[in-house]
Amino acid sequence: MAKGQHLSSYQKKIVNRYYEHHGTIKLTQLQELISDLAVAETDKAKDKLWAKADQALSTLDIDKAKAIKIIEARDLKALAEFIAKINPGSKPPAPRQT
């Protein structure tokens, strides 16, 4: 922090809770990105969303090689399954019936 900047005990608790739940926050962000990628129409929008997914994955304590492979392949299904394995409480989306 910058010199002379002090946090109250209440603010310190907020900051500590953020870092305690950082993994959960990033997993939620990744789940939202998966949904956004599924409905993205333009290549420019998809590029931006994949970059955000790459950034979010890089902050988690996961298998980096597998994450890089998924990002490079831009495989949405593999990303959803990978996130479901990381977060056992979530389920990958069911395939659509057409």
pLDDT tens across 10-57, in order?
999 999 999 898 888 889 999 999 999 999 999 999 999 999 999 999
Residue 92 confidence (pLDDT) above 80? no
The DSSP code sequence of 59-81 is: TSSS-HHHHHHHHHHT-HHHHHH
SS3 of residue 46 by DSSP? helix
Q: What is the mean pLDDT of residues 50-71?
A: 91
Q: Tell me how many degrees the CA angle 22-28-31 measures, rounded to the nearest 5.
A: 145
pLDDT band at 1 (very low <50, low <70, confident <90, very high): low
pLDDT for the residue numbered 60: 86
In whole angstroms, how far apart are CA 51 and each of 10, 11, 74, 75, 88?
34, 31, 10, 13, 24
Structure tokens that stand for 77 in this block: 């299904």
pTM over cut 0.85: no
pLDDT for the residue numbered 61: 85
Beta-carbon neighbour count of residue 40 at 10 Å? 17
